[in-house]
Amino acid sequence: MQPRATAWTPYAPAPYGLFIDLGSDREGATVTTTEPTRWQEAPVELPIREERPAPRPVPGCPECARLGQLRKAAGMEHDSTTVADCNILLRMHGTGH
């Protein structure tokens, strides 16, 4: 019977014969390499995005008038995010007329 390992007994590794050989797929493996690409691929051509015209507020609609004024004020302050938001809301609001 082997002595128990405690904090006071030195570590003794197991004999090499006790290890199980699991085998390896690496013994028969070969290294294959591919030739690097030495030319630049053709660039991808994207279609030109056409600008959509800004939606017009519907005359007589208070919500359209409010969004139109807000869009105009945001454009004067160069706030393109608010301008885009107003355009989206005007396009969506126009379906309710």
Model confidence over 11-44: pLDDT tens digits?
676 666 666 666 666 566 667 777 877 778 888 8
Model confidence over 36-53: pLDDT tens digits?
777 788 888 988 888 888
Q: Based on the number of CB atoms within 10 Å of its own CB, is 92 exposed (0-12), middle (13-18) or buried (19 or more)? A: exposed
pTM of the predicted model as reported, rounded to 2 decimal places: 0.48
Which tokens is 40 given?
């630049």
Which tokens is 94 given?
């126009």
Contacts of 9 (CB under 8 A, 6+ apart): 3
